[in-house]
Chains A and B, each alone.
Chain A
Amino acid sequence: MPLEIRPQTMDLKTSDLYLGYGSSPVIDGLNFVVPAGKITAIIGANGSGKSTLLRGLSRVLKPTSGSVLLNGRDIHEQSTKAVARQVGLLPQGPTAPSGLTVMDLVRRGRYPHQRIFDQWSSEDETSVRKALALTKLSDSAGVLVDHLSGGQRQRAWIAMALAQDAHLMLLDEPTTYLDIAHQVEILELLKKLNIEEARTVVMVLHDINQGSRYADHVVAMLNGDVFIQGAPDEVVTASMMEKVFGLKAVVIADPATGTPLCVPDAPENA
């Protein structure tokens, strides 16, 4: 990977972060640094706080205590638009209102760059064109989002997040509900964005093998804290699978890429 085109110092980390919805915290005193310029996959069991962490990192959820620091400053003390120009979020299973065209959707991603009297600058137009081209949707700009296939629709949402021009993109299960070919398509797209556009990507994934194949850095979460993190072959091991997911698993080398491939152990061995 070309290390030269790393983004301008973009540094997002959490400091003793507590996040939660009621009285009991979901994220419990987390200190975590987002690896800049890399693809990070967050894995973990249901309820381990993956999505909550993503929402906290993107300013959507306010911490109960502790803070999320963007370039050293608390994101809740910065201008919301300034944060949005640097950090973008694609939530899980977003829904578009009916009657919306792809073009209209992608344009809305430009909001953090616009002002009341400056609503459609030439930069806005360039960014939207580029986002459509990168996601191969230039020819479908006028199509209604309702009429797209699942894979195209997800690409349209990614195009919207791209148009936001944030160096850091947070994606919550971007491949869920897609068939395997479209899953690969989305992950290849994200990889391309990481390499060619020098974007930092953080995504929550359910499929551990996709995580170890596409991510530079894997974070395994357990009970609202990071259990282990590092390169895929350090993290994706049989012992991690047992502790984080409570599943006896066999880890072998992926015959296609050599990255760790993890399959559940046969029941008679478990």
Chain B
Amino acid sequence: MRPEAITAPSPVTLAVLVVSIVAVAVLISFTAVLEPSPRSLRTKRLSMLVDLRVVRLCGGASALLVLLTLLGLEIGEYPIPRFQAISTAFWDRAGEYSFVVNSLRFPRVVTAVLAGFCLASSGALFQTLLNNPLVSPDVIGINTGAALCAVFVLAIGADVGLLPWAAFAGAVVTAGTIYLLAWKKGITGNRLVLVGIGINALLASGITYLMVKFPIEQVLAAARWQAGSLFGASWSDAWTLTVAIACLTPPAWILVRRLRLIQLGDDMASSLGLRVERERTAIILVASGYAAVAVAVIGPLGFVALLVPHIVRLVAGPLTGGTLVLTGVVGALFLLACDLIAQQLFAPTTLPVGVITAALGGPYFLFILVRYNRAP
């Protein structure tokens, strides 16, 4: 932790923030102009339905993501002449600023993008499966399970390299436990949510116990990790996430079509030819996998998995293969933007990105809660 007191953001930073928020709002309202425009795509062996609107939205979000990535390379604590960082990252890799750009900023930006993709995808799958916009891996305890194991590893002073694996194990074991406890001749969304909230509370108290039990010097690192931070993200973190996304995305794509049937009710899905419990287990595994790997790398970051899928659903409609990708890209955009804000808002003091996601996500959570309760 740095010793400087937190300073107020400079007028320039504030102005940039306000302008970017307005720009995002304008962009979102612009999407309302786009009508859903389904197009059939058919070749000899392949046929699918593509919503051109979702394709356009994906393209727009990806373009924004590229711009923001370049911005993430450019700005930071260490002064680098304009555009030098970009050239160092892409073609002049042995340049003067190679360490700052290629070992600090670039992996951090890429990790933020990939982790955001994972968290948002996980949230989209959970929310659709349980038909509840208030559900996400951080609400039902998956993230807390990962955090408990990771805090334990940090507190006993074990090798830090174990941390991602411990978090992953914690997430999967928690998902399994919730599933088993909620199982009663099948799984219903509400029971799973309630069991998840209970488990979440239990695990959170476990973390508190560890924090009190172990000496303060040892749990300090755990406390920082727990807030969710991209500080010190490395290429190996980015690789872990890349491999996970490569493994999880194809099954997620296949499962989305079945998930869309489960949305219509278990009896309906079953009569349409689905083995509902098997598919549901698979979806929970994939969704937990996405959450677990993100938590393992950057800590139990809250609200990304809750907020992003909800916004995308409002703009682009119910989950399809296309909107799942869109959700991932918007998640990447969101987490990267939050991390840049966290670095810049009180520069030179940097905040953990979790503080920003929580500051934006908390009010949004209340907004969904109010909307959800007023819905007929």
Q: How far is the CA of A170 from the CA of B313 in the complex (A)?
A: 33
Given that A99-B317, A120-B48 are known contacts, is A89 also in contact with B271, CB under 8 Å in the complex?
A: yes
- CB A140 to nearest CB in B, in angstroms, measures 15
B92 contacts chain A at the CB level, 8 A cutoff: no
Kindly count the residue-residue contacts between A and B in the assembled complex, taking CB atoms under 8 Å apart: 96
* C-alpha gap A60/B261 in the complex (Å): 14
Whether A119 pairs with B48 at a CB distance below 8 angstroms is yes
Which of chain B's residues have a CB closer than 8 A to the CB of A149? none
Confirm or deny: A251 has a beta carbon within 8 angstroms of a beta carbon on chain B.
no
Contact B263 A59 (CB under 8 A): no
A199 CB, min distance to chain B CBs, angstroms: 15
Contact pick for A83, options B45, B254, B267, B273, CB 8 Å:
B273
Whole-angstrom distance between the Cβ of B50 and the nearest chain A Cβ: 9
B257 at the interface (CB under 8 A from A): yes
| Bound complex: CA A91 to CA B269 (Å) | 10
B257 and A96 form a contact (CB under 8 A): no
B253 closest partner in A (C-beta): A116
Contact residues in B for A91 (Cβ distance below 8 Å): 265, 267-268, 271
For B49, what are the chain A residues with a Cβ–Cβ distance below 8 Å? 107, 119-120
Flag whether B93 is at the interface (Cβ < 8 A). no
Contact B274 A80 (CB under 8 A): yes
Q: Is A194 an interface residue (CB 8 A)?
A: no
Q: Please give, as numbers and ranges, the residues of chain B lying within 8 Å of A108 by CB-CB distance.
A: 260-261, 264, 272
When the two chains form the complex, which single residue of B254, B263, B272 contacts A116, counting CB atoms closer than 8 Å? B254
User: Which residues of A sit under 8 angstroms from B263, Cβ to Cβ?
Assistant: 97
CB nearest to B314 among chain A residues: A99
A35 within 8 A of B: no
A-facing mask of B265-286, CB < 8 A → 1, else 0?
Answer: 1111011111100000000000
Q: What would be 14 A-B contacts, judged by CB atoms less than 8 Å apart? A: A58-B270, A59-B270, A60-B270, A79-B273, A87-B271, A90-B268, A91-B267, A97-B318, A104-B317, A108-B260, A108-B272, A120-B48, A121-B42, A122-B47
- Contact check, A55 vs B254: say whether CB atoms are below 8 A apart: no
> Are B47's CB and A118's CB within 8 A?
yes
Per the bound structure, the CA–CA distance linking A97 and B259 in Å amounts to 12
Asked whether any CB of chain B lies closer than 8 Å to the CB of A109, the reply is yes
- Distance between Cα atoms of A107 and B36 in the complex (Å): 15
Instruction: Indicate whether B212 reaches chain A with its CB closer than 8 angstroms.
Output: no
Expressed in whole angstroms, the minimum distance between the Cβ of A255 and any Cβ of chain B is 38
Contact of A99 with B268 in the complex, beta carbons under 8 Å: no
Distance from A26 Cβ to chain B, minimum over Cβ atoms (Å): 14
Beta-carbon contact of A111 and B273 below 8 Å = yes
Q: Please state if A164 and B272 are interface contacts (CB–CB under 8 Å).
A: yes
A99 and B48 form a contact (CB under 8 A)? no
CB distance from A122 to the nearest CB of B (A): 7
B273–A121 CB distance below 8 A: no
